[in-house]
Structure 1
Amino acid sequence: MTGERRALIIANGEYDNPGLSALRSPAADAEALAEVLADRNISEFDVQVVRDETAHVIASRVEDLFADSAPDDVLLVHFSCHGLKSESGELFFAARNTRPERLASSAVPADFVQRCLRMSRSRSIVLLLDCCYGGAFGQGVAVRATGEANVLDAFPSGGFGGRGRAVITASNSIEYAFEGDHLADDHARPSVFTSALVEGLRTGDADRDEDGWIALGELYDYLFDSVRERNPNQTPSRDIEMQGELYLARSRRRRIKPSPVPADLLAASEDPNMFTRLGAVTELQRRLTSENLSVAIGAHEVLTTMAQTDIQHIAEAAGVARREARVRTEPGVVRFGEVVRGTRPVARIRPAGPPIARACRFASSDSWLKVTEVDGGAEIALDLAEIGPFDGRITVTGPTGEVVVRVEGQVVEEPVPEPRPTPSPPPEPEPEPELVRDPAPETPEPPAEVPAPRPKPDPFAVAAGLFAFAAAVYLVVIAFQLSSSAEDFFEDGGWTVLPLIAFAIGAGSAMFPPKTRRMAGPGLLCGLALLSVAPYGPVVLVLARGCLIVAAAWAMVSLRRDRIFRLGLGKPRGAYAVAALVAGIGGAAGLVIEAGELFAYSSSRADEGAIYLVVAVLVLTGTVLGAFLRPVAFGLAFHGGVAGGGIVMVCMLFYAMPSSSRVTGAGWGIALAMMICLAVVTGFAARKAKG
């Protein structure tokens, strides 16, 4: 499969209408699912999350995903929200601004999603619906939980022209009801469906045939069994229309096929002579420790047969050899001790012994006990909210057996420090009346009004922004200090650094807000840094360019630390990509034309012509690279940085050309116009992406 893998996660848990109760799970579900889908070792999707948005924003994101697709692309859409049915039986997905009595204008129709599915060129589309379904009816009418929502009827099979698509829904029943205009409050519980989906992909347990890949059919079977086990009243449903198998993720579960032992060794293990069979046990024991797991499994099977069927002396020797390859872990018991409620302690276990004993899988006994496979073992995390002792089990299974690891400890409340006695102040002779004017402080604020703490900024992103600001401040000082008047400012070329100052300030500012420091800030800095490596310009600009390059490096370190963000390459597509490439190629062509005119004008101007060629190569490289970069938002910001740096370089090259020896300047004008066009096209594309 050569196409892209893109996922859109839509999570709506907060609603403006009081009739739609808030859902606890969508926000956490979106974060966990985005992390596992973007993991390069598992699914490697380019993930976009839309959280608590209005209906028109959600519809726009859905349409963009399906419209901007190629036949080989794999598209995955996950809805986590309320699912509502109108009086006429139409299905809608609730958004933040949804009103149950005005579904057609304030919710996302399932029919709209169906039309987008049909218009898409992709042959591999997966739609996952983790919704609580209810009916929207008049005042005083309630729907019982036994009704059928018939969700799959909103996405009928057929009519896809050979395209493949699959719809998997967490439930097909109207589990919750509207009582009057309000949804029953007992629905607010964590999502069983999405948590099972994340667990199956992350642990690889959904790989039922253990071939190292999780196919769509295997994933549904796993979801069905897991959801039914956790909630017998909930039954996932599916409607799959695909040719061939669609593999959504990799897994570490791979069945090891035993390699037959050599014929002479097998004959020795069955030889009538006891000492010959003992020698065979020694050789089989050596093969049991092989790095080749197939060879080790083959030897283990023969040793097992000898331990069960041979005479006592030989059976004991074969049993000793087998015990060396048994599954065992370090430690055998994980004791957390006292755990403060609200914290998330982590511990690790690792298998011990030869390679065949370390080829293990890990499974937990309880939902609060999270197990994640890592290199060399597994990581255990606790998610407990109740006070008291806990006791769980981790089952470690390998080709040579299994072992159970106990996890124990006790959850305690965080100790509250006793307040120190405050000495009473001395009596004041004249108490001020202002102390009793306003009794308002005596009314305690409700807990719900306390704002949630903001996430701490990433120190590397802050460092990148500060370096960009340092470059801008340095340029301002240089530009105005060297000019004694406005006339000198323009005659001495101080105006040529004004665009660079503006772009440096913009890129630095974008590294601080959480919404822009992941895409816009790093992209702008990297584009500016690319043009900053051009070996041209006054010596006084070296420090400013160095600051921009260091800022871009810190920004990339910040992205590398982001577990959800994944930078990659993909096919350029759409009108924007074509326009950006045309602008970049046109700008490079203009610089090449100017270089040719310089070469033809005088051999003494060859060095200037070479500089034009270097800048042309950098502009062309940056434009092409930005069109291929994914996520698309990062590529847009990168194009903006390339456009800004290109404008600065073209202005400096033009100013540095002596007026007495200037040639036509047609190439310079083309280059400047194309760089401005690239900036304008990038700005329009970024604005459209935000809308």
Structure 2
Amino acid sequence: MIVANGEYDNAGLQQLGSPAADADALAGVLADRTISDFDVRVVRNETAHAVEAEIEDLCAEGRPDDVLLLHFSCHGLKDDSGGLYFAARNTRPDRLRSTAVPADFVQQCIRQSRSRSIVLLLDCCYGGAFGQGVAVRSSGDANVLDSFRGGRGRAVITASNSIEYAFEGARLAEGQPAQPSVFTSALVEGLRTGEADRDEDGWIALGELYEYLFDRVRERNPKQTPSRDIEMQGELYLAKSRRRRIKPSPIPADLSAAIAAENPFTRLGAVAELRRRLSSSNLPVALGAFEALKVMASTDIEHVAAAAADALRSAVVRADVSSVRLSAPPGEVAAAVVRAVGPPVAREARFEASHAWIRVTETDAGAELAVTAGASGTRRGNVVVTGPTGDAVVAVEIEALPVPEPEAVAEPGPEPIVAAEPEPSPAEPEVKPVPEPPERPNVALGALDAPNATLGALDAPNATLGRLTEPAAAEAEGGVAADPGPGAGGTEAPESAATARAADPVGGFAGLLAITGAVFAVVGLPMNYRYGYSLSQYRPGMESYVLVVGACALLAGILTLAPGTRSRTGPALLFGAGLAALFGLLRFLGEAIALSQQGDTELKAGYTFALLAHLAWVVAGACALAALGRSRAVALGAGPVRGWPAWVAIVLGLTAAVGWIVQLVDLNTYDSSDAGRATAYFLLGALLAVSVPVVAVVLRPRLVGCAVLAAGTAGLLGVLAPTFAAVFEEASLGLGGQAIAVVALVLLAIDTVVLAVQARNQPIGRQP
């Protein structure tokens, strides 16, 4: 939870710009599932009692295995006795006990929490000098950390000690643009870039974070000294880091023997094996092979060394572009993306900018650049891509576009004297002159309308540069920019307008394939399925299932091709429809296999079209999932199941599966031959009922999972038709099992709506 109070009703407390910026920056990092696994709540500019209620809720709801992190960004005040208080919106410096948040209250909440790991970050001033009229007294030897001692598994890190000020931006002053404070900006930078991972083990520990904060804060402002009081059993890791030091694995003994063999052809064989190991996703194995090839390239005979050098070149660090050229109005930001290419060991790279006007945000796919144009002319810099197998340099240029001069407005002169015209006679209607349309004013070129911009590897002559803070793809689909749910992929990556206009060929193929499958299904339904019977006559109920899944696939295919929904909504629905189509595909394949074993080949054109339709839908679903993974508008990933609606979805899927199993058991008791013919309906339906909710609730972003669950649930409702037809005239218990399945799936459809509303409305912070 982030408590950000920068607006105060009392005139004696200086308004702060940093808390708002602190909250946005820190919430964005902590909500990024590639960095941490926190569910973020922001409390902005609330009164003291509202802040206390939020703190008590956080600590009371914490479970033993939860890590609670509480961050204060506000004024810190002390009373006459040295007691510490956090300023809220309604705080009066002369009435701290009743209008501010006491540190003792926070301490009590922390002590009473069930959580075994609690971290408190205090970005506050301690002492006076907040503005004229503030009389806050503090003894020079009082230590803020004294207010938070005691208990195991607790840690406190403060922006400054008891007699220093926590600086807002670069100085304590009003009228400056809102920037994160020195302390919080260092905290965000250390977590975002991974620089706080001092030992480069892929994890940012609490101790490492403090050491990084101490160095960076003192470097930027020697008058501010972060302090800490950490009482932890074992190490506490707060975030993940891409700065992972890879230790090469030793070469196996038989391969080492081949490398040292006297026969050069044996050593050439060793080079081939090392090249294969070089492309392994096991990075220590790949790096071990790289080190061995380096030795062979420098010490072996010419043709063996040449083969080793050629293998090394395939794994050196490379970027997908050698240069990035951008343009934007002065002071504006243009965006681009740079990716490392090659085998996994070559893609394990870091990206560092040569200048402060090039901001680098590392992602799993590479790095996003936010480049700020200068006042005039062209800025030139570099981004260095460094990995365990070498480094590469990408040149970055941004041209400041000229801003057109405003048109001069002529000074108004004296109004001319115009003679009065005679009144028109009644017989002659008055003819009014038609005014000419006004000329369109000159429009200054903005960063969204750069005429000759090159974006990353794209070299389109009219590429449009998007603002870094403008998630075009997410807004086009009504999504949210950050998903605070756990797992990877909470947040969507920024996407330039040029890339947003370009359709993903994989997604386009999936959409066309889904529509083709729907056409096959409609054409094949009236045709003979077996002997002289259509599908509805030979397998009653299956035609309803085919129509339901076909409608879902057709809609999803159209949305996958539509510009506004092709990056997330369409592929997500299509993946869910593909999951539902597995029922029909396996059912039709099983029937063909069973009949072929009996020597019966009487399956007709209706069967062929139905099989091809379901095969097309399943393949389209797989391609849609691949398109989601490739999309820069969606950080696709998986995470743990969190929240009661997600668990309810899994329970309802299991309940539907139980209902179908009950039907199968009763049908087998009543008539084993009928049960044998209908077993595939019930078993496949039960398997699908369990699989669809589980897959959907672990997908991230959550809105993608909700779309998958919606299409999959529609397919499950379609399965009700053939299962009902199989037991309609057989047994009352079978109908009871069908009723269980019906109720469970209807409730699952309702729960899907609840999940979608929850995912769409989930904030990264609370507004005042």
Which TM-score bucket, shorter chain as reference? 0.5 to 0.7
Alpha-carbon distance change, 349 to 509 in structure 1, aligned in 2, over 3 angstroms: closer
Partners of 2:573 and 2:339 in 1: CA distance: 43
Alpha-carbon distance change, 158 to 477 in structure 1, aligned in 2, over 3 angstroms: farther
Alignment match, 1:124: 117
Partners of 1:607 and 1:57 in 2: CA distance: 63
Alpha-carbon distance change, 251 to 576 in structure 1, aligned in 2, over 3 angstroms: closer
1:677 aligned onto 2:668: no
Partners of 2:406 and 2:714 in 1: CA distance: 58
Letter of the 1:124 counterpart: S
Residues paired across the two proteins, number: 572
Write out per-residue CA displacement over residues 68-98 of structure 1, whole angstroms, 9 at most, x where no aligned residue: 765444455666x65587999742567xxx9
Structure 1 residue 670: Cα displacement: 1.4
Partners of 1:454 and 1:359 in 2: CA distance: 26
**Pairing 1:158-557 to 2, within 5 Å after superposition:** 158=149, 160=151, 162-169=152-159, 173=165, 184-186=174-176, 188-209=178-199, 213-247=203-237, 248-250=239-241, 252=243, 254=245, 340=328, 341=330, 342-344=332-334, 366-370=355-359, 382-387=371-376, 412-414=400-402, 416=404, 432=432, 435=435, 455-456=472-473, 457=476, 459=503, 526-535=575-584, 543=613, 546=616, 550=620, 553-554=623-624, 557=627
TM-score w.r.t. the length of structure 1 is: 0.57
Write out per-residue CA displacement over residues 474-519 of structure 1, whole angstroms, 9 at most, x where no aligned residue: 899999999xxxxxxxx99998789879978998999999999999
Partners of 2:10 and 2:722 in 1: CA distance: 57
**Pairing 1:641-660 to 2, within 5 Å after superposition:** 641-654=711-724, 656-657=725-726, 659-660=728-729
Partners of 2:176 and 2:393 in 1: CA distance: 36
The RMSD of aligned alpha carbons is 7.1
Partners of 1:34 and 1:206 in 2: CA distance: 14
Partners of 1:210 and 1:184 in 2: CA distance: 39
Give the SS at the match of 2:176.
helix
Partners of 2:434 and 2:98 in 1: CA distance: 54
Tell me, yes or no, if the aligned pair for 1:338 and 1:411 is still in contact at 8 Å: yes
Alpha-carbon distance change, 190 to 385 in structure 1, aligned in 2, over 3 angstroms: farther
Letter of the 1:412 counterpart: A
Tell me, yes or no, if the aligned pair for 1:395 and 1:403 is still in contact at 8 Å: yes
Letter of the 2:117 counterpart: S
Alpha-carbon distance change, 614 to 377 in structure 1, aligned in 2, over 3 angstroms: closer
Alpha-carbon distance change, 359 to 250 in structure 1, aligned in 2, over 3 angstroms: closer
Partners of 1:70 and 1:521 in 2: CA distance: 38
- Mind listing any 5+ residue stretches in structure 2 that lack a counterpart? 251-285, 296-315, 408-429, 447-466, 477-499, 528-539, 589-605, 763-768
Partners of 1:61 and 1:508 in 2: CA distance: 45
Tell me, yes or no, if the aligned pair for 2:86 and 2:100 is still in contact at 8 Å: no
Partners of 2:381 and 2:136 in 1: CA distance: 34
**Pairing 1:534-683 to 2, within 5 Å after superposition:** 534-535=583-584, 543=613, 546=616, 550=620, 553-554=623-624, 557-558=627-628, 560-562=630-632, 565-570=635-640, 572=641, 575-576=644-645, 579-605=648-674, 606-626=676-696, 639-654=709-724, 656-657=725-726, 659-661=728-730, 664=733, 665-683=735-753
**Pairing 1:15-164 to 2, within 5 Å after superposition:** 25=21, 29=25, 33=29, 37-39=32-34, 43=35, 45=37, 71-76=64-69, 90-91=85-86, 121-128=114-121, 142-143=133-134, 156-158=147-149, 160=151, 162-164=152-154
Partners of 2:521 and 2:126 in 1: CA distance: 60
Tell me, yes or no, if the aligned pair for 1:396 and 1:403 is still in contact at 8 Å: yes
Structure 1 residue 122: Cα displacement: 3.9
Structure 1 residue 455: Cα displacement: 1.8
TM-score w.r.t. the length of structure 2 is: 0.53
Letter of the 2:230 counterpart: I
Letter of the 1:200 counterpart: G
Identity %: 33
Partners of 1:253 and 1:604 in 2: CA distance: 61
Partners of 1:295 and 1:498 in 2: CA distance: 58
Structure 1 residue 561: Cα displacement: 2.8
Partners of 1:556 and 1:65 in 2: CA distance: 38
Partners of 1:501 and 1:16 in 2: CA distance: 60
Structure 1 residue 681: Cα displacement: 4.4
Tell me, yes or no, if the aligned pair for 1:152 and 1:239 is still in contact at 8 Å: no
Give the SS at the match of 1:214.
strand
Partners of 1:625 and 1:49 in 2: CA distance: 27
Structure 1 residue 567: Cα displacement: 1.9
Tell me, yes or no, if the aligned pair for 2:204 and 2:240 is still in contact at 8 Å: yes
Tell me, yes or no, if the aligned pair for 2:196 and 2:212 is still in contact at 8 Å: yes
Tell me, yes or no, if the aligned pair for 1:25 and 1:189 is still in contact at 8 Å: yes
Structure 1 residue 668: Cα displacement: 0.9
**Which stretch has the larger CA shift, 473-482 or 83-92?**
473-482
Partners of 1:592 and 1:404 in 2: CA distance: 59
Structure 1 residue 616: Cα displacement: 0.7
Tell me, yes or no, if the aligned pair for 2:384 and 2:393 is still in contact at 8 Å: yes
Identify the structure with bigger relative contact order (alpha carbons < 8 Å, sequence gap 6+): 2
Partners of 2:15 and 2:363 in 1: CA distance: 40
Structure 1 residue 614: Cα displacement: 1.1
Tell me, yes or no, if the aligned pair for 1:29 and 1:191 is still in contact at 8 Å: no
Alignment match, 1:310: none
Tell me, yes or no, if the aligned pair for 1:391 and 1:406 is still in contact at 8 Å: no
Letter of the 1:189 counterpart: Q
